[in-house]
Amino acid sequence: MDALSHALLGVAVAGLSGHPLSIHDPIYLASVIGAQAPDFDIIAILRGNFAFLRQHRAFSHSLPGIAIWSALITCGFFLVSQETVASEIFLWSFLGGLSHILLDFFNAHGAAVLWPLSRKRQSFSLLNVFDPLLLTAMVAVYCLQLSAYTTSLLFFLLIILYIAIRYLLKQQNILRLQQQFTNDTVERLLVMPSLKSIFRWDFVLETHDKYYVGQIGFFRQTLTIYTELSKQTASPATLAAHNTVIGKFFSTFTPFSYFTEYQDTEQNNKFVTIYDLRYFLNQDFLHSATIMFNANESPCDSYIKTSGRVIKVPC
Distances (CA, A) of 143 to 138, 155, 183, 243, 304: 9, 11, 51, 52, 44
Q: How far is CA 126 from the centre of its chain?
A: 11
Residue 135 to residue 148: CA distance in whole angstroms: 18
- Quote helix, strand, coil % in the chain, to nearest 5: 45, 25, 30
Neighbours of 196 (CB within 10 A): 11
Q: What is the pTM of this model?
A: 0.86
Q: Which of 271, 254, 255 is nearest to 263 (CA)?
A: 271
Q: What is the length of the chain?
A: 315
Encode the chain (315 residues) as per-residue pLDDT tens digits. 789 999 999 999 999 999 999 989 999 999 999 999 999 988 877 777 777 777 788 888 999 999 999 999 999 998 888 777 899 999 999 999 999 999 999 988 888 888 888 888 888 899 988 899 999 999 999 999 899 999 999 999 999 999 999 999 999 999 999 988 887 788 999 999 998 888 899 999 999 899 999 999 876 678 999 999 998 888 888 889 988 988 888 888 888 999 999 888 777 789 999 999 999 988 889 999 999 998 888 888 899 998 778 888 877
CA dihedral 274, 277, 279, 283 (to 10 degrees): 80
